[in-house]
């Protein structure tokens, strides 16, 4: 068992190093991050609309951003225009334009995946159509990440209302609090797998992308925690960037997430490539 684990870890690190040495790794994460930045505000706007329709509070998003980075960044991203005065056709147009704009991020994922897999890029309209579908899954991801804490809180409120036993209520609260993190991570892993599966212009089996999706899920969690600690305790971006510090903090975080996402996608391809090498189907240069 230990020997097998050691072998798998060695294989992972070998693949990881080969992925980092790819020339396009110096370009693709930055390109992906740029379009993520363009897509993040309309995406959050759509999430807010969806949460409002489902009577969900977006406070969990604000709390996460405020605790991880700062209240200024949370306000920067969640400063969604009020839509009380927008109705009918105007509201429908706003949502459609926001949705198409938000699809810039998934469209860049498609381009990135095709470069990694060595596939030809599809036409603009075909790529945009697929990006719109991927945007739906992306918005669903964040909606589900909103539902998990709300659902957990409702269960706790129910136990507190029934008030069967204070000890039982306290234990239930502790268990739900502990489970909310892993459940959210599992949802994130599931949707990352979907994006990795449908992005390339080739048939990719879902089970073949679990390798990279697992890496990306863990990487996103670790990057967010470490970067959050760094900017809150060590870095002083305001010294150099002044009023632009919040935007710089946000862009660096998104770039790191995009870099991890690109590595995860390349790891999936590398694992597939390594399997073809072993079977003698292809010969890959080191």
User: 210-258, pLDDT tens digit by residue?
Assistant: 889 999 999 999 998 898 888 888 877 777 787 788 888 888 988 999 9
Mean per-residue pLDDT, 267-286: 68
Q: How confident is the model at residue 285 (pLDDT cuts 50, 70, 90)?
A: very low
Query: Lowest-pLDDT range, 100-109, 176-185, 197-206, 216-225?
Result: 176-185
**For the chain, what is the mean pLDDT?**
80
Could you tell me the two tokens for 243? 């009023």
Provide the whole-model pTM: 0.81
Helix (H, G, I), strand (E, B) or coil at 163: coil
Q: Is the pLDDT of residue 283 over 60?
A: no
Q: Is the pLDDT of residue 19 over 60?
A: yes
| C-alpha of 280 from chain center | 35
Give just the sign of the alpha carbon dihedral 171, 173, 175, 177.
Answer: negative
The pLDDT, as a whole number, for residue 286 is: 42
d(CA 154, CA 136): 26
């Amino acid at each position: 068992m230990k020997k097998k684990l050691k072998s798998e870890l060695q294989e992972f690190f070998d693949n990881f190093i080969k992925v980092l040495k790819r020339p396009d790794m110096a370009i693709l994460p930055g390109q992906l991050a740029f379009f993520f930045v363009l897509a993040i505000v309309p995406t959050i706007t759509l999430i807010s609309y969806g949460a409002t329709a489902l009577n969900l509070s977006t406070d969990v998003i604000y709390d996460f951003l405020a605790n991880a980075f700062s209240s200024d960044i949370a306000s920067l991203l969640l400063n969604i225009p009020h839509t009380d005065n927008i109705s009918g056709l105007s509201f429908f147009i706003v949502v459609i334009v926001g949705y198409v704009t938000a699809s810039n991020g998934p469209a860049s994922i498609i381009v990135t995946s095709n470069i990694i897999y060595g596939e030809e890029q599809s036409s603009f309209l075909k790529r945009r159509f697929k990006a719109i579908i991927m945007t739906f899954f992306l918005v669903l991801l964040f909606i589900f990440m909103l539902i998990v804490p709300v659902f957990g809180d409702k269960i706790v409120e129910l136990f507190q209302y029934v008030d069967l036993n204070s000890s039982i209520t306290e234990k239930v609260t502790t268990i739900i609090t502990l489970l909310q993190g892993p459940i959210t991570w599992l949802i994130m892993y599931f949707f990352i797998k979907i994006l990795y599966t449908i992005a390339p212009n080739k048939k990719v089996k879902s089970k073949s992308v679990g390798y990279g999706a697992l890496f990306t899920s863990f990487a996103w969690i670790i990057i967010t925690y470490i970067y959050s600690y760094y900017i809150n305790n060590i870095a002083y971006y305001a010294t150099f960037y002044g009023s632009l510090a919040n935007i710089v903090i946000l862009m660096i975080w998104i770039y790191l997430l995009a870099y991890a996402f690109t590595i995860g996608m390349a790891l999936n391809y590398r694992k597939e490539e390594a399997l073809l090498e072993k079977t003698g189907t292809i010969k890959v240069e080191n």
